[in-house]
Amino acid sequence: MDVKEKIKNLINENDVCLFMKGTPDSPQCGFSMAVSNLLKHLNVNFKGINVLDDEDLRQGIKNFSDWPTIPQLYVKNEFVGGCDIVKEMFEKGELKKLLEEKKII
Amino acid sequence: MALPVDEIKKLIKESIPDASIEIKDLMGDNNHYAAIIKSSKFNNLSKIEQHKLVYKSLKGKMGNELHALSITTEGK
């Protein structure tokens, strides 16, 4: 399976998918930790995908989203943003609203 | 590898000439920055598209030479 298919499957099979460095329990980068913690704070059940385990995926997700940095958050197949956008949305209450609208929380 | 503030500003200005840019070097190490960028080019764009414009102006340096640049964008 090529990496694009693999990413499509991951975001199809998981309502909330966070491509990150490290895991939700052991993040390896401050930005990944920040987004992971916000999701935990909102009691979101999410799938953390450690791109450090898979170099193809690490590059692949950047190409797939046309976005140069990790973490990247997908909700119901839709790219929500990286750390800055997710943080800003959280502060404005928009992240909670989005997750409620998508029936995640 | 590090990218100095002036270089970042120059790159952004080349693609987004009307941008007003404020950059803080968070750790004093030329490697961890926070930028606030305002431009009329951002008007009516989604946040994702706004950030993509900034990333594109940095010509592939984001995620490479430039590890940590947090971005806040606003229209004007």
What does pLDDT average to over chain A? 97
Looking at the 3D structure of chain B, how many domains does it have?
A: 1
Residue ranges, chain A, pLDDT below 70: none
> Which chain A residues are closer than 8 Å to B51 by Cβ?
81-82, 84-85
ipTM of the predicted structure?
0.92
Smallest Cα–Cα separation from A66: which of A87, A82, A86? Answer: A82
pTM for this entry: 0.95
Distance CA(B65)–CA(B42), nearest Å, equals 25
CATH of span A3-101: 3.40.30.10
Whether A68 and B48 lie within 8 Å, measured CB to CB: no
Q: At B11, which CATH number?
A: 3.30.300.90
A88 Cβ under 8 Å from any chain B Cβ: yes
- Residue B53 structural domain: 5-74
pLDDT number for residue B1: 60
